[in-house]
Copies of this chain bind each other. A is one copy, B any other.
Amino acid sequence: MKNETTMKQTTIFPANNETDTAVIRPIHGGITAPAGFAAAGVKAGIKYPDRKDMALIYSEVPAVTAGSFTTNIVKAAPVLWDMEIVEKQETARTVIINAGIANACTGQTGIANCRQTAAIAAATLGVEENEVLLGSTGVIGMTLPMEKIEAGVHALAKEKAATIAAGTQAAEAIMTTDTVVKEAAVRLVIDGKQVTIGGMAKGAGMICPNMATLLSYVTTDANISKEALTQAVNEVVADTFNMITVDGDTSTNDTWLVLANGLAANVMITLPDDSGKNEGYEIFKDGLYYIGKKLAKMIAADGEGATTLISVNVAGADSKLHAAKLAKSVAGSNLVKAAVYGRDANWGRIICALGYAGVDFDPEKVRLSFADQAGQVNIYADGCGLPFDEEKVKQLLSADEVVINIDMGSSFATCQAAKPSEEGWEAAKFAATAWGCDLTEDYIKINADYRS
C-alpha cells in the first residue's frame, strides 16, 4: 500500500480505477443491499402511461437520517417537507417518491399534498407521519393527482420486498429522462462487523449542484450517530454530487437522503474527537464517498442527450475551493461540451473556461492534457499550444469517458493527485474533479418540448 502511494506520486493524474480494496468492496445491488431495508417500484400513471413512476424505501426499524438539499431559493414542497423532518427528527422509516410531477411552485396546495401523502403512507405502512420522507421529480408547476398517489402508495405497500430486484424496481421508478438505472452498493468492515451501504439516483437534466442530483437515496445498516451521519453526508456531497454538472440549472427538487438503521450492530460510529482519527467514521465516509461518486458519475454520463462522460481533473490549485471552481467551470462550459461532442480538440475553450471561473492564476503556468488509462497527450503549456497527434487525441475524445487533466502549476511539486479519494482526504487539498457530459442536438430535442 505504501509502495503504491509512492508510485502514484510520480504520476500527476493516475488512471481512473475504481476503488476495490479489502476495506471497501463493491457488491451487487442498491438500496436493498443493507440489512433491514425493503423497496418497491410501481406504475401509478402520474404522467407516464406505461412506466413505473412511484417508489418506496422502507426500513424495518427507525433509521437515523441525514440529507443535503437544493440551494435553489425556490424549493419544491417535498424538499421543504424533508428538510423539516431531517432537522427535527432523529430518525425516519420510509421514503415515498414519485416521478412525472415535481410538486414545485405549487404553493399551499403542494404542502397540503405532501401532508396527505405522508398520512396515507403512515396509515398504510404502520408508521408515524413524521417518519415519512417524500421526493418528487418532473414538471414544475403541476399539482399531484392525489387519487393516483393514494392508489400508488397502496400498491407500493403491497409490493414492498427486501430483494435486490425490488431495489432495482424502485430505482427504475424514479427515472424521468434517464436512460439507465443508477444503483450502487458496497460492503465495509467496521469494528469487525460487516456494514453495507446501498444507493440509487436519478438525474439527466436540470443538473447543477449545489446540491446536485435531482434525487438520490442511500441506505445503510451502519450503526451511526445523527451527528456523524450528517457530517459524513456534508463532506461527501461536496466532492461527489456537488461536482457534477449537466446543464448548469440547479433544480428546485434536488435531494440526497441517507438512512442508517443500525442493524449491522457495530459499535456506534461517532464524530472524530479532537484527538483526530476515528477509524470507523473514516471507513464509513470512504464507503459513502464511493457510493456518492459512483452515482454522481452515472448521472453525469447519462446527462440528457449525452454521448460521453467528461471528467475534469484539476490539480496544483492554490486551494481546494479554487480547484473545484476551475474544474466545474470547464465541465460546465457549453463550448467545451459541444467541442467534445464534435470530438474536436479545441483546447482554447478549456483555457478560456478556466479564465472565467472567477479564480486568479497565471495562464503561463497552466498545463493541459487529454488522458486515458494508458497515458496522456500534452496539449498546452507555457501559455501556448503544443504540437500533438490529432489522431491520437481524436481517439481519446471518442472514448466513453473523456478525461481532461489540468495542472494549474501553483504548487506543482507538492500536488500528488487530482483525485480526492484515492490518496485520502488530505492529499485532495489542492485538487478536485468535476464530472459533466457533452452537449448534443439530443439535449435540445429533449428540452425543447419537455412538458408535452
Contacts and interface: CB of A to CB of B under 8 A. Distances in A.
Interface of A: 71-75, 102, 104-109, 139-142, 205-206, 208, 247-252, 332-335, 338-339, 341-342, 344-349, 351-357, 359-361, 363-364, 380, 382-385, 439-441, 443-445, 447-452
A415 to B, nearest CB: 19
B249 A363 contact: no
Contact of A347 (B141, B360, B445, B452): B141
Contacts of A347: 140-141
Given A248-B332, A250-B355, A338-B444, 15 more contacts: A73-B359, A74-B354, A107-B382, A139-B348, A141-B348, A206-B335, A249-B334, A252-B352, A338-B443, A339-B448, A341-B448, A342-B449, A344-B452, A439-B444, A441-B444
A72 B105 contact: no
B252 A355 contact: yes
Contact of A333 (B108, B248, B348, B440): B248
24 contacts: A73-B363, A74-B355, A74-B363, A105-B363, A106-B383, A107-B364, A139-B346, A140-B347, A140-B349, A141-B351, A141-B385, A249-B333, A249-B334, A249-B353, A334-B443, A335-B447, A339-B447, A341-B448, A342-B448, A344-B449, A346-B451, A441-B441, A441-B445, A444-B444
A352 to B, nearest CB: 5
A364 B106 CA distance: 10
Contacts of A252: 348, 351-352, 355
A383 B75 CA distance: 11
A278 to B, nearest CB: 35
A107 B356 CA distance: 19
